[in-house]
Structure 1
């Protein structure tokens, strides 16, 4: 809004500028009353102080007197009779006119910029360097379990978080934490809401923060299950990073960042963020070829000093790392076909479990020396073994409690190969064909048995033998008018298949919907997407999966979604 005072001040300035222009164009002096009244009005509006006005009038009178003496001819006033209190000025010199003009202009422009009416709809500089984005997803999810499923499958993730659990059936008659494998869960109403802010600190530096929902702090999902007596929901720090553009082709990013690698959700969940630093390289060679690459180092976990805070002896702290590197290429074959290829190597350092030295928990030991080798987060599927080498009480050897945690039996050095082929078909259809192959180069069944000292806890067949593997495969096809939903009327349909052996990759970081997360899973998925409006689209998916080895566990998941982004 422009206040009346500002409008009046601006009008006065425009009148003065007009008079100055007229004075420069004609030799005749302007009307004295108009000039004096303008000066008075400027004083009343606070543009000029009274002392400044008196000085201008005095200077004008002096120079007018000098002008009369130089011309030796009287100047006849052309205007109405002066009112009492008016000061008659017969001539306003150019210097005075310029001073009045410049001062009025400075005052008016300062006020206009401060009140934001000289340049409407403009804001301070920092506002233009900050942008916001976000998304909201509403999901209705149902889970349908097979009646043939084994209902005694241990939830090892919960066992580690709530344990240790006594595995001696002679001293403990309670079941360990168990997965739900038979009771259907229908119409789970779920929400994902994320809000991000990005600030351009300089042409080379960028800072970003994103907040997100989530039922807990697990790394693979920001989905919040609604209900719970209408209780308030948690907000988590989903991302927080600094990014430096070292050159046109290289960017360095550190903090809690989005996935810097090109991958599918069979390896990393779409909601997964990485804690650490990454260097991203992207360079266009010509109109047909481009190359890209990523190097990253990410601390997965810092081991605790001890399994218990009341222990007198503390173990040295160790860091479990993920080191990753990827190279890839984009090839524009022709106007209708594009191919993307990528090869990545991920070394998960020290995330495998380690069997403890003899430990006498029955004598009151607060923990064992390898309790910290259990992973901070897991879903299910990886082969695990009992970490503690608990000794028995000689007096009651058969009924001595055997409290246990579990650790990963395999090491993980993962080779991840990806290929995506996008084609444009007749009638404006688009087809995406995608393949992903994963192989754990560190998978070694004999080493797993040696590391566990025979204490493998899962993935055991009916003969008591370990069944596992280090490979995973995914293929998928997407067909429609658009591969990404951007506008009203866009649509596509998709179908695919996954086969994930138990120890092909760590089970804690991949998609949490297919087989309800983790590895040791095989099955298909189908879906469809439709654009309702710009940045608003509906989705439907059906995922059907069962176990590869071990205890029977089959589950179908249906998801109906409304997705928005802004």
Structure 2
């Protein structure tokens, strides 16, 4: 195999011959050897490394010396005239340029193959991968009113650790209860996320993101520090494949970021969706564009082997979320922009079912509706006892009643969102935001019928349901920037929320306001300030109380340092 240096030297020699009759190239201390001058020019242009150039110069000078010793003929073909004059063959400029292009292509090809002309260049696959991430350090304090009821059941823990015997004649322990009076001060918390995105082909992208989290709950990737300095958990936060058949349409599947325009009264900012979504964005004209999303998302699959130690297995009862949204973005003028969307969400089979008669006290391993309890819940939704337990004839009053709870209301949501961004004088910016949600499927009579009168919460002393089907939020943000990117960026924000108990499922919204869930109302305010590029501080105060039921007031203070890369 021939040495690539020899091939390169020959090519450079040809270029020198072609340019010998052309104008000289200005160069500090030029050499008499045109090849040497060209090599130096390639070094200046960054095509060659200096060590490679030194080797080529040495070889070019050596070969030139050998050529002069072998023959005194000039490099370019010459022909003696009859009168003794020497005629030099003229090489046209277009030919010289063609030779230059061919030599440059050969040099770059050799450099790329042997990785010596650009040592910091990554291989092709690495150029198609990008990384991003963020880290948030938070100090959090939670304050509870002394007048709060201390008898509020933690139904999420009851379902997770249960069943719990609700018969006071056979049970001597209290159900799991929420902390409602003891403050929690100065909790140091961390959220870290790191993502990778790969451009597989022209229209195909795959992505993976990992994140912290104290457990696998879907609404928060924040984790408490401490715990005896134990190592912290990492979870698969996202994992998806996207295909864009056109620049206006993207189809995604896997565990994906929230594809809908929404606020955190419905979906937490940390919530990701398992399933499939199609997203489109279509400009109408210079000032107006339409966007939309349709998707199907499995919320919960029933256990194939439930009940595991019983001969009879439970029917498949899969829970799904179906969503469709249509919106528009309108640039009203140079200083005002409007974005709005209407969405419909249907949660299929998310409600609980009352079981057929069963007898756990007689050794029956479970009841046939146990799998209809929600996989994850926070608090607020109206619930009922799932099991229809037959009394023990030998001792009916003391028959144990080990129970799970299920959701009483169906959910078909109408979700309306509006955001108005305005540029004000003195470089101020104002964002006005509103969100309204109505549960079209809310029906107190159906809830009572579904529960067979066994409601577990949200009822008054007369057994009447105290609930509602509406939620809404308004928020205003004012500052010199709405998105924190640079040092010195700042803004202030304030808003109000009201979320009635059955306006939406309580398992998917923000876990900070009222510490998550529904049946809450109150205000929030705070501010952001850019400490450096991609580093900003946040202070936030959230004050809430229940809409219906026993007193339960919670104030939350959060102080954060946020970074992104």
Report the equivalent of 1:347.
346
| Structure 1 contact 268–509 (Cα < 8 Å) conserved | yes
Deviations 1:129-150, CA, capped at 9 Å, x for gaps: 1110000001001100111111
In structure 2, distance between residues paired with 1:480 and 1:109 = 51
Report the equivalent of 1:193.
192
* Root-mean-square deviation over aligned CA pairs: 3.2
In structure 2, distance between residues paired with 1:109 and 1:153 = 73
1:280 aligns to 2:279 (yes or no): yes
Give the C-alpha shift of residue 309 in structure 1.
1.1
5+ residue gaps, structure 1, are 26-44, 46-56, 62-70, 72-103
1:180 aligns to 2:187 (yes or no): no
1:530 aligns to 2:500 (yes or no): no
1:477 aligns to 2:476 (yes or no): yes
In structure 1, distance between residues paired with 2:121 and 2:201 = 20
Report the equivalent of 1:214.
213
SS of residue matched to 1:201: strand
In structure 1, distance between residues paired with 2:15 and 2:414 = 78
Report the equivalent of 1:85.
none
SS of residue matched to 1:414: strand
Report the equivalent of 2:223.
224
1:137 aligns to 2:156 (yes or no): no
Report the equivalent of 1:247.
246
Aligned CA distance change for structure 1 residues 462 and 118 (closer, same or farther; 3 Å): same
In structure 2, distance between residues paired with 1:137 and 1:116 = 40
Give the C-alpha shift of residue 461 in structure 1.
2.2
Report the equivalent of 2:466.
467
| Structure 1 contact 493–528 (Cα < 8 Å) conserved | yes
Report the equivalent of 2:382.
383
SS of residue matched to 1:262: coil
Deviations 1:535-556, CA, capped at 9 Å, x for gaps: 1110000000011111211110
Give the C-alpha shift of residue 425 in structure 1.
1.0
SS of residue matched to 2:314: coil
Give the C-alpha shift of residue 394 in structure 1.
0.5
Report the equivalent of 2:369.
370
Deviations 1:81-133, CA, capped at 9 Å, x for gaps: xxxxxxxxxxxxxxxxxxxxxxx999986764355331353221111111100
Give the C-alpha shift of residue 155 in structure 1.
0.7
| Structure 2 contact 282–290 (Cα < 8 Å) conserved | yes
SS of residue matched to 1:415: strand
Aligned CA distance change for structure 1 residues 105 and 215 (closer, same or farther; 3 Å): same
Deviations 1:290-336, CA, capped at 9 Å, x for gaps: 11110000010001245431111102222110000000111111111
In structure 2, distance between residues paired with 1:106 and 1:420 = 53
5+ residue gaps, structure 2, are 23-54, 56-66, 72-79, 81-102
In structure 2, distance between residues paired with 1:288 and 1:122 = 41
SS of residue matched to 1:372: helix
In structure 1, distance between residues paired with 2:131 and 2:345 = 32
Q: TM-score, normalised by structure 2?
A: 0.83
SS of residue matched to 1:398: helix
Aligned residue pairs, count:
502
SS of residue matched to 1:137: strand
1:458 aligns to 2:454 (yes or no): no
In structure 2, distance between residues paired with 1:233 and 1:141 = 18
Aligned CA distance change for structure 1 residues 499 and 106 (closer, same or farther; 3 Å): closer
Report the equivalent of 2:325.
326
In structure 2, distance between residues paired with 1:265 and 1:298 = 18
Q: TM-score, normalised by structure 1?
A: 0.83
| Structure 1 contact 459–551 (Cα < 8 Å) conserved | no
SS of residue matched to 2:495: strand
In structure 2, distance between residues paired with 1:515 and 1:22 = 79
In structure 2, distance between residues paired with 1:18 and 1:528 = 65
Deviations 1:440-475, CA, capped at 9 Å, x for gaps: 000000100000001000112243322000000101
Report the equivalent of 1:38.
none
Give the C-alpha shift of residue 177 in structure 1.
1.0
| Structure 2 contact 254–274 (Cα < 8 Å) conserved | yes
Stretch deviating more after TM superposition (172-181 or 343-352): 172-181
SS of residue matched to 2:518: coil
In structure 1, distance between residues paired with 2:232 and 2:145 = 32
Q: How does 1:18-57 map to 2 (within 5 A)?
A: none
| Structure 2 contact 219–508 (Cα < 8 Å) conserved | yes
1:407 aligns to 2:406 (yes or no): yes
Give the C-alpha shift of residue 12 in structure 1.
5.6
